DNA sequence: GCATGAATGTTTAAGCTTGAAATACTTTCG
DNA sequence: CGAAAGTATTTCAAGCTTAAACATTCATGC
């Protein structure tokens, strides 16, 4: 488990890992900030709302609240608030589930679906711009390196089908 | 500018960029969630507090509020609240600046400095563990690829000295 | 001096986020 | 049946985050 071995390069590797993590974090924050601002200015919405709509757009029949929060890897209570606001805006609706009065199914309205497709198109273009300094080869290479990282849930080797995130279709 | 050229592979590159971004985002969120939980359980603190203390630890003479928020790339008002709580906890103190009654200088107390060094040591170890699946060479390679990305402020070619983030010393 | 604008911080309103507690419903099984 | 355990969701308290409004203080130029 990556014990503090007595090899002389332990220190260096650890520092390199730290450096990589800090870069990763800076880059992600910068891109996120950019996307957040554009979503606000051009669509008067937020990144969390966009993420929720993206998840719902991949499931035309809707998702239960708990499925949604698992997909987005955020807490249960968090989704409640975001969905409530999306419902107010008319982009999402809640539908009772037959035979289980505890659960509800949430899905995009027709208007929500249309709105999401507008946003997703812009979003893809923005991301393409932000990463434009990477060549196709570099992008591909980086994608492969990321496969080695703890991207998916770590200590759970039994996830049914992680499903591709975002609006990738 | 990455204009929508008429080359047949525009679509593919764009999709690859999007895929990379989503992976980046997933990875960052997962690592952040892990670090956040550990900071909470083992040190009863939060990631934002840790980030602020890391910035202050690199500046023993303290920083003005506005310098601090620039370093952390968060809004001005945000820092006010975090610093207030750190002051309550006794890790940070505010000191008036001679000759300018608008500004204050904030810096770690002796206790804060000591506490931060405990946390930083654990933090470096956690990150090393989380990235342990990357070889030294892969880590180095990835670090280089990141240099091509919009890590630093994009449209400002005149930043004085970005300074290394985190507790890297 | 003194008006005017810039700089520095705080406050505020709205929303996001978590973890824990509360609520409501369903299933299990004695 | 009925208690206990489990499931699905909301509510809650605390804290983070932003953008915008606000209050002070400083600097500049008449």
Answer for the pair A123, A35: CB distance below 8 angstroms, yes or no: yes
Count interface pairs A-B at CB distance under 8 A.
181
Across the interface, do A134 and B149 touch by the CB < 8 Å criterion?
yes
Nucleotide nearest to A97 (CA to C1'): D8
**Cβ contacts of A19 within 8 Å, gap of 6 or more:** B143, B168
Distance of residue A25 Cα from the nearest chain B Cα, in angstroms = 6
Across the interface, do B139 and A28 touch by the CB < 8 Å criterion?
no
**Cβ contacts of B129 within 8 Å, gap of 6 or more:** A1, A2
- Identify the pLDDT of residue A10: 56
Top-level class of domain A46-145: mainly alpha
- Identify the pLDDT of residue B12: 76
Report how far residue A85's alpha carbon sits from residue B61's, in angstroms, rounded to the nearest whole number.
45
Judging contacts by C-beta atoms under 8 Å, the chain A residues touching residue B151 are: 23, 26-27, 30
Top-level class of domain B26-146: mainly alpha
- Identify the pLDDT of residue A37: 92
- Identify the pLDDT of residue B87: 97
CA of A103, C1' of C26: distance in angstroms: 11
pLDDT tens digits in sequence order for chain B, 169 residues long:
444 444 455 567 888 899 999 989 988 988 999 999 999 999 999 999 999 999 999 999 999 999 999 999 899 999 999 999 999 999 999 999 999 999 999 999 999 999 999 999 999 999 999 999 888 888 888 888 888 776 554 443 333 333 333 454 4
CA of A94, C1' of C30: distance in angstroms: 38
Residues with CB under 7 A from strand D: A 33, 36-37, 40, 64-67, 76-77, 79-81, 83, 94, 97, 100, 102-105; B 46-49, 73-78, 81-82, 85, 99-102
Helix axis angle, B65-72 to B76-89, nearest 10°: 110
Sign of CA dihedral B96, B97, B102, B103: negative
pLDDT under 50: residue ranges of chain A: 1-7, 153-166, 168-169
Beta partners for residue A108, in sequence order: A92
Nucleotide nearest to B29 (CA to C1'): C17
- Identify the pLDDT of residue B163: 38
Across the interface, do A14 and B124 touch by the CB < 8 Å criterion?
yes
Across the interface, do A18 and B128 touch by the CB < 8 Å criterion?
yes
Judging contacts by C-beta atoms under 8 Å, the chain A residues touching residue B149 are: 27, 131, 133-134
In Å, what is the CA distance from B82 to each residue of A19, A26, A167, B52, B55? 25, 20, 35, 8, 13
């Amino acid at each position: 488990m990556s014990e503090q071995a007595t090899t002389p390069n332990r220190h260096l590797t650890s520092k390199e890992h730290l450096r990589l993590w800090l870069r990763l974090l800076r880059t992600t924050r910068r891109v996120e900030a950019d996307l957040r601002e554009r979503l606000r200015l051009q669509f008067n919405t937020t990144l969390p709302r966009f993420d929720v709509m993206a998840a719902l757009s991949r499931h035309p029949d809707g998702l239960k609240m708990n499925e949604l929060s698992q997909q987005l890897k955020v807490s249960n209570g968090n989704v409640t608030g975001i969905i409530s606001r999306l419902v107010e805006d008319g982009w999402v609706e809640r539908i009772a589930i037959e035979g289980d009065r505890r659960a509800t199914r949430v899905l995009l309205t027709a208007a929500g679906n249309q709105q999401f497709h507008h946003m997703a198109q812009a979003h893809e273009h923005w991301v393409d711009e932000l990463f434009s300094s990477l060549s196709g080869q570099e992008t591909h290479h980086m994608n492969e390196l990321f496969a080695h990282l703890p991207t998916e849930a770590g200590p759970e080797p039994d996830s049914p089908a992680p499903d591709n995130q975002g609006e990738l279709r």
